[in-house]
A = this chain, B = another copy of it.
Amino acid sequence: MHAIGVDIGGTKIAAGVVDDRGEIVAQVRRETDADDTASIDAAVADACKELLADHEVGAVGLAAAGFVSPDRRSVLFAPNIAWRNYPLAENVHELLGLDVPIVVENDANAAGWAEFAFGAGQDATDMLMLTVGTGLGGAIVIDRQLVRGKWGVAAEVGHLRVVPGGHYCGCGHEGCWEQYASGSALVRDARAALVAYPTRATRMLELAGGDPEALKGPQITQAAQEGDPLAVDLLATLGRWIGEGAASVAALLDPELIVIGGGVGAAEELLLQPARAAYEEQLSALGHRPTARIELAKHGNEAGIIGAADLARI
């Protein structure tokens, strides 16, 4: 059965028809306004209609960057879109007038599910997905089931506290994992290093055009791939935080596979090797248990579409 998946961001939406093997057979996009929720409903419905003109689908899944109600119908709260207890599925259903199941899923859960069903995790039963981007998102699969939590708010992995009294987080707390294990943390640490150790930072400073504040993540990866020791160190620090935090998750969940998504994956072994080493160093009872694999995600930006579509037809 084909299904539509829609990835709803603050400023644009992407919708696609997804087949049984997780392939996107058609895709459309729309611009949106994060403050005008009715227009988002309309854009979602409009995008779906365009796809429905040429494709028969049995379900629609909507990936939303926010807290989703346990019945998968509403968005309870979203940080970047004006959704508050918002009946997203019902609204889209009314606009679409189509008699198929429409469900809402958290976007990180959708992306993680795409990886589980059709990507790095397709042979696994118990998986932790970590999406290392602006923040640290995640998804948890236990015994082939996506973990949504009692109120739909599970897998907010970025807010595991890893350092008491640690870095401030936008959530109002201190020491959240995403302040150490995210692309933002990498860039912030690199910029601080340009200030603190100017003599070690020449290559990155050059790539940033001489302005520490202009430094971007891919430039750090590039410098590291060229062999710049400071950039290598920075990626190793990021990898270490990923691995150490994952070991804490493993103490709770004993996964067989940890999948790393997000742009920092471009650093490949420069990131994975320290992540794996730190994971093993921190894993309790190492030697008395198998150790989870840590691998890169196979899907990129389209994971939200694929996962939302697939979760809708389950």
Contact = CB atoms under 8 A, between A and B. Distances in A.
Interface string A140-177: 10110101111111111111111111111001111110
A192 B166 contact: no
B161 A248 contact: yes
A150 B288 CA distance: 14
Nearest to A154: B254
Interface stretch (A89-97, A277-285, A301-309): A277-285
Contacts of A147: 142-143, 253
A141 to B, nearest CB: 11
Interface centre among A176, A188, A251 (most CB of B within 10 A): A251
A253 B172 contact: no
B172 A254 contact: no
Contact of A284 (B125, B173, B253): B173
A137 to B, nearest CB: 12
Interface stretch (A18-26, A34-42, A196-204, A259-267): A196-204
Given A147-B253, A173-B196, A256-B150, A164 B163 contact: yes
Contacts of A248: 159-161, 248
B253 A159 contact: no
B67 A289 contact: yes
Nearest to A244: B161
Given A159-B284, A167-B174, A172-B193, A150 B198 contact: no
A77 interface: yes
A172 B285 CA distance: 9
A113 interface: no
A275 to B, nearest CB: 15
B163 A286 contact: no
Copies of this chain in its oligomeric complex = 4
A252 interface: yes
A251 B254 CA distance: 17
Contact of A164 (B155, B164, B285): B164
A251 B160 contact: yes
A76 interface: yes
A255 interface: yes
Contacts of A165: 163-164, 166-167, 175, 180
19 contacts: A76-B289, A126-B149, A142-B147, A148-B254, A149-B254, A150-B255, A150-B290, A151-B254, A153-B285, A154-B254, A159-B248, A168-B168, A172-B192, A172-B193, A172-B197, A173-B282, A176-B284, A197-B281, A252-B253
The 7 closest A-B pairs by CB, nearest first: A149-B254, A172-B196, A159-B284, A150-B256, A154-B254, A172-B195, A77-B288
